[in-house]
Amino acid sequence: MRLDITGRQVDITPGLRQLIIKSLAKIERVLNDRAISGSVVLTKEKYRHITELLIHARADNILSGIGEGNTWPLSVRKAAAKIENQAQKLKSKWAEGRHRHNRPDKRSVIAPVVAGDRPPASRVVRGRYPVKPMSIEDAAMRLDSGSDTFVVFRNSESESVTILYRRKDGNLGLIEPD
């Protein structure tokens, strides 16, 4: 992250610069290195130490915080805490947007049928799965190499849609149509 530090009636000492960098490191970790640039303005008015932080993050997100105290560490800590709260919210927003695409929509879920005192049935979630032509051996290799629990494929010998799955005992099961 590019960082600009400006002092108004303040000399930026190496210790003050190190304090700012240390407090911004936690914010960078929260944002997973998605912070593009940062601007810090330090102002001293009589006994008041004022820190203005401005962080530009990915997708034109601007995080800003102003901290005020009677010492620089207190002022920087207050401003960084405000930015950190905003960063947590932004990170959860990014994560929610990422997970929203994986959720099934209401049209693809069939409601469970409840009959009497029987426990409710599991939901059925519809999904699309590409059916590629391959041999049973190729499907077994694909199942062993990946984290999939099943492979749907078009058997290259019989031209029928076939399912190869991993059984609970560790063996592979094959489902072929009649």
Instruction: Indicate if 159 and 75 belong to the same structural domain.
Output: no
Residue 106 lies in a domain: no
Residue 75 lies in a domain: yes
Instruction: Indicate if 135 and 79 belong to the same structural domain.
Output: no
Q: Identify the domain containing residue 155 by its residue range.
A: 129-178
DSSP state of 108: G
The residue from 80, 100, 120 where one domain ends is 100
Q: Tell me: the pLDDT tens digits for 15-65?
A: 998 998 888 888 888 887 777 888 999 999 988 999 999 888 877 788 889
Tracing tokens 């990422």 back to the chain, one arrives at: 98
Residue 7 lies in a domain: yes
Residue 164 and residue 150 in contact, taking contact as beta carbons nearer than 8 Å: yes
Residue 113 lies in a domain: no
pLDDT at 114: 52
Residue 29 and residue 39 in contact, taking contact as beta carbons nearer than 8 Å: no
Give me Rg for the CA atoms of the chain. 28
Q: Tell me: the pLDDT tens digits for 96-152?
A: 776 565 555 555 455 555 555 566 677 877 777 778 888 888 888 888 887 778 888
Give the residue ranges of DSSP H helices in 31-165.
72-100, 136-145
Token digits of residue 171: 């063996």
pLDDT at 118: 61
CB neighbours of residue 125 within 10 Å: 11
